[in-house]
């Protein structure tokens, strides 16, 4: 790639992880990068050398010499970063986006997943609706944790499999649990960023691969305000930013005070204030134009939304499958689309329908947390 870094003189740390059918080896001279990955994905660590899946090596190299940039590189990709302080978060974003886009063994959905007596349940929720809070609340009733971020269905046997990444807990989540007299499940805190804390639930709370029996969609009624979201994006030129503002009807572009970055503001990392229901336009635009999203934070939802009586209703399998398709984690760059479902996202509806033929689908409106838990348990 034309870079003249002398790797032999640097002290490098290596860590290897397995995500479904993808192994990644990260080799870095930046301790913080490895620490961030290890803290978030400690349950994905594998011993170097034992590879059975497709393997990709990433080099994350910093330089403290004036004028020299840091670099993240892998086969066919190289990205320079001006300030070493941003390397861990940017490296994490790039590596995970690329890795998960290569997964072909599983369908990945942006959702939480739990198990209850070997019956799997996926919870799909609008941003900031309380998916994490609901996940923790169900765990207080004996549900086992599979994932807070990605629900993964095996394409070979339809099993719902774990993705034991750490949970990012906001103070609002703890307050909600306390408000309804629910215990915070046993956990280990691994890092803190701004107002969020990364935790790993204890081993005894972990579930195992199981069949998918239920999918619950937690959705704010369409006549209610879904609130705002603050999205921090990586470097972006003026023209592209202007196009993004127009496409996603961005309400405001502000300087960042994101917890992911050093506290000084930096105009190269714009923060976009968008309506939550338009967030998908931001993601779609950034994906198409190669813009990295560094952070996305939802404004706390109206308190009154969670004071009401929730209602749960069964929905048809086709409606459920279509809504699940909407939460598919991949994108047009996904290997699944490029190699296995070449005619596009529509092709995914068939495997989703096949994998969920014995699954029951429900929709629940937000309400008091303890009542939401009872409603969900009542339909199982």
Catalog residues that contact another protein under the rule CB under 8 A.
316-319, 321-322, 343-344, 346, 349-350, 353
Name which of 220 and 348 has its Cβ closer to another protein. 348
Q: Which long-range contacts (CB under 8 A, 24 or more apart) does 274-278 make?
A: 274/228, 274/229, 274/231, 274/248, 274/249, 274/250, 275/226, 275/227, 275/228, 275/229, 275/249, 275/251, 276/126, 276/127, 276/128, 276/226, 276/227, 276/228, 276/229, 277/226, 278/248, 278/249
Q: How far is the CB of 180 from another protein (least distance, A)?
A: 36
Q: How far is the CB of 317 from another protein (least distance, A)?
A: 5
Q: Which two tokens stand for residue 262?
A: 């050093």
Q: How far is the CB of 323 from another protein (least distance, A)?
A: 10
Name which of 46 and 353 has its Cβ closer to another protein. 353
Q: Which two tokens stand for residue 149?
A: 């971020």
Q: How far is the CB of 9 from another protein (least distance, A)?
A: 52
Q: How far is the CB of 124 from another protein (least distance, A)?
A: 17
Q: How far is the CB of 41 from another protein (least distance, A)?
A: 34
Name which of 42 and 317 has its Cβ closer to another protein. 317
Q: How far is the CB of 250 from another protein (least distance, A)?
A: 25
Name which of 224 and 317 has its Cβ closer to another protein. 317
Strands 312-315 and 293-298 turn out to be: unpaired
Name which of 236 and 321 has its Cβ closer to another protein. 321
The three-state (H, E, C) secondary structure of the chain, written as one string: CCCCCCHHHCCCEEEEEEECCEEEEEEECCHHHHHHHHHHCHHHECCCCCCCCEEEEEEEECCCCCCCCEEEEECCEEEEECCHHHHHHHHHHHHHHHHHHHCCCEEEEECEEEEECCEEEEEEECCCCCHHHHHHHHHCCCCEEEECCEEEEECCCCEEECCCCCEEEEHHHHHHHHHCCCCCCCEEEEEEECCEEEEEECHHHECCCEEEEEEEEECCCCCCCCCEEEEEECCCCHHHHHHHHHHCCCCEEECCCCCCCCCCCCCCCCEEEEEHHHHHHHHHHHHHHCCCEEEEEECCCCHHHHCCCCCEEEECHHHHHHHHHHCECCCCCCHHHHHHCCCCHHHHHHHHHHHCCCCEEEEECCCCHHHHHHHHHHHC
Q: How far is the CB of 335 from another protein (least distance, A)?
A: 20
Q: How far is the CB of 357 from another protein (least distance, A)?
A: 8
Name which of 274 and 321 has its Cβ closer to another protein. 321
Name which of 12 and 349 has its Cβ closer to another protein. 349
Name which of 107 and 372 has its Cβ closer to another protein. 107
Name which of 236 and 352 has its Cβ closer to another protein. 352
Q: How far is the CB of 316 from another protein (least distance, A)?
A: 6
Name which of 235 and 317 has its Cβ closer to another protein. 317
| DSSP-assigned beta bridge partners for residue 313 | 363
């Amino acid at each position: 790639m034309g870079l003249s870094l002398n790797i032999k003189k640097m002290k490098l740390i290596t860590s290897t992880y397995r995500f479904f059918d993808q192994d990644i080896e990260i080799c870095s001279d930046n301790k913080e990068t490895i620490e961030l990955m290890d803290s978030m994905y400690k349950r994905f660590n594998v011993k170097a050398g034992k590879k059975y899946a497709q393997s990709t090596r990433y080099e994350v190299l910093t330089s403290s010499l004036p004028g020299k940039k840091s670099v993240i590189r892998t086969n066919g990709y190289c990205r320079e970063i001006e300030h070493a302080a941003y390397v861990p978060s940017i490296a994490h974003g790039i590596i995970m986006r690329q890795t998960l886009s290569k997964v072909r063994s599983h369908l990945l959905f942006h959702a939480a997943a739990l198990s209850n007596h070997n019956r799997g349940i996926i919870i799909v929720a609008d941003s900031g609706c309380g998916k994490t809070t609901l996940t923790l609340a169900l765990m207080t009733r004996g549900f086992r944790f599979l994932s807070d971020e990605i629900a993964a269905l095996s394409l070979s046997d339809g099993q719902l499999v774990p993705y034991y990444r750490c949970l990012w807990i906001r103070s609002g989540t703890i307050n909600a649990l306390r408000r309804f007299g629910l215990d915070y499940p046993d956990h280990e805190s691994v890092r803190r960023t701004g107002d969020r804390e990364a935790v790993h639930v204890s081993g005894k709370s972990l579930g195992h691969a199981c069949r998918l029996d239920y999918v619950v969609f937690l959705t704010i009624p369409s006549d209610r305000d879904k609130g705002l979201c603050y999205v921090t994006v990586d470097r972006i030129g003026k023209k592209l930013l202007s196009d993004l503002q127009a496409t996603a009807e961005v309400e405001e572009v502000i300087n960042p005070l994101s917890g992911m970055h050093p506290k000084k503001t930096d105009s190269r990392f714009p923060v976009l204030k968008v309506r939550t229901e338009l967030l998908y336009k931001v993601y779609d635009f950034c994906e198409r134009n190669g813009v990295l999203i560094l952070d996305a934070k939802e404004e706390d939802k109206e308190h009154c939304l969670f004071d009401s009586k929730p209602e749960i209703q069964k929905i048809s399998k086709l409606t459920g499958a279509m809504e699940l398709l909407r939460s598919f984690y991949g994108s047009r760059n996904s290997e699944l689309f490029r190699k296995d479902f070449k005619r596009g996202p529509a092709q995914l509806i068939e495997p989703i329908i096949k994998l969920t033929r014995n699954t029951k689908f429900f929709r629940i409106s937000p309400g008091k947390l303890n009542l939401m838990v009872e409603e969900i348990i009542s339909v199982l």
